[in-house]
Amino acid sequence: MIVQQEAAAPGAAGRSRAPATPANRAPQTGFINTPTAGRIIPILHYAQMAPDFAVVVGVPGVGKTEALKHYAASNPHVWLASMEPATTKPGMMMREIGRAMGLDLKSLADASVEIRRRVEGTQGLILIDDGQFLSTLALDQLRTIHDKAQIGIAIIGNAALYANINGSGRKTELAQLFSRVGMRANIHKPSDGDITALLRAWDIADAEEAKWLRVIARKPGALRGLTKLLKLATLLADGEDQPRRLKHMQAAWGQLAGAEIETQAA
């Protein structure tokens, strides 16, 4: 590797200067092609092509949102709308979907019609992230859009979404939605392959570092927590002009979690 040296300052002739430490490597993109992403993306593709209803639920931090963003950026006629507590009701949900489509839905009364006009004939896909925030009426509104526009819809969320659609939905007003779900996935934890892919993306080759980081990846927060840790560890190492090492990772974990360092694998 060629390290570019700074020009010597006046009067600094004869002084020795240590070569700059090469920058610690970090992934260049937010998307890492993990085995879990390999489970999610074919489900989204099926929902778009069928067109059908799909549901993906999973614990936080396993890469669901990054897989959605990657799919939306890589395929035409895919609209990603993220939900939150403020979008629980159908009207606010529709406004978020419209915003993802570039629609200015001033009249919420006409929102369903405008959205259906936008998607009809596109063989597109509406992606709903954080679908656990949606009320029963909002979920039923999505069913109506799917039925009338013949458009694929995929809802992604956590265990609460799974309970709504897969559990109580068989016996309540969501039974119509449950019967329309063509494909589903329930992701309980990051796989060993997910962790390996993330460590490879961050250029973690040291066996001791990898063993310790695998423990962290299995804690609540999963891959998201591990990514935050590695980002901070990289900043700490760069601040010391040193290669990123286990001591930086452990210091980062102590700052992020405020917890004791664990060195034994679970």
Q: Are residues 107 and 223 in the same domain?
A: no
Q: Are residues 81 and 132 in the same domain?
A: yes
Q: Are residues 74 and 137 in the same domain?
A: yes
Residue 222: domain span: 192-257
pLDDT tens string 22-71: 467 777 667 899 999 999 999 999 999 999 999 999 999 999 999 999 99
User: For residue 16, is pLDDT > 80?
Assistant: no
**Residue 224 domain-assigned (yes or no):** yes
What is the structure's pLDDT at 91? Answer: 92
Q: Are residues 218 and 116 in the same domain?
A: no
pLDDT tens string 155-205: 999 988 877 776 554 555 666 677 778 888 999 999 999 999 999 999 999
Q: Are residues 238 and 141 in the same domain?
A: no
Q: What is the DSSP string of 159-225?
A: HHHHIIIIIGGGTSTTHHHHTTEEEEEEE-S--HHHHHHHHHHTT---HHHHHHHHHHHTSTTHHHH
What is the structure's pLDDT at 261? Answer: 45
